[in-house]
Amino acid sequence: MIKVNHLSYAFKIGKKEKENVVPVLHDVNLQVEKGEIVAIVGRSGSGKSTLLNLISGFIQAETGTISINGTKVSGLSESKWAEFRLSHLGFIFQSFQLIPSMTAYENIELPLVLKGTNEKDRVERTKEMLKRVGLEQYQSHYPGELSGGQQQRVSIARALILNPPLILADEPTGSLDSENERELLSFIKELNENYGITFLMITHDHEVASIAHRKVEIVDGYLREGRMLREVQR
């Protein structure tokens, strides 16, 4: 599903030609198989978010390649990246990233709107998704009127509405209490088991990492492959 080869990245700080180069990732190689849940763990500043941002196309690497679902995405133009994200990727963010002026319904519907789906289909799919995440009665609520757990469910519904094969999650439980965290993790497991959706998650939470099939750790920009957790559990 994801193939990362010899990926390196460095931040450039300061003015052009007088900039300081701060290396973040060094020769990262990673492969995520279809249907896997992979957790990337590491300390703050280790480079795990940068790796996710590179895989998401939010930043572009200067060296190395990334392929997702058989498509070489490194080097794509901004427009192509946007189109690719819309069709192949779903995102779950720590701070939900819902548009405050839109209702829960409109936030979930947004990817369908961007895709240009016809209205009848949109209504059907959005209502079905609201039902799936248990937020039917909150469809006309704005994000500010929902709890953290509800907002994250809206965010997940939005990520799933176009049935992407891969979901990238950045600290998905970071803003949730333990009860909502458990609920979310079981939902992720269910999606993975029932629909075969691949998850690549960034977390520093061991409980979150515990649902992953595989854990990879980033230490000072170097990737260290972990053991198959499920195998250990078994």
Give the footprint of another protein on this chain (CB under 8 A).
53, 56, 58-59, 78-79, 82-87, 89, 91, 93, 95, 97-101, 110-111, 113-116, 158
Supply the minimum distance, in Å, between the C-beta of residue 121 and another protein. 12
Q: Which is nearer to another protein, 114 or 219 (CB)?
A: 114
Rounded-to-10 torsion of CA 30, 32, 36, 37? 40
Supply the minimum distance, in Å, between the C-beta of residue 114 and another protein. 5
Q: Which is nearer to another protein, 37 or 161 (CB)?
A: 161
- Report the candidate in 100, 234, 210, 95 with the shortest Cα–Cα distance to residue 226: 210
Q: Which is nearer to another protein, 102 or 228 (CB)?
A: 102
Supply the minimum distance, in Å, between the C-beta of residue 116 and another protein. 5
Supply the minimum distance, in Å, between the C-beta of residue 94 and another protein. 10
End-to-end CA distance of the chain: 25
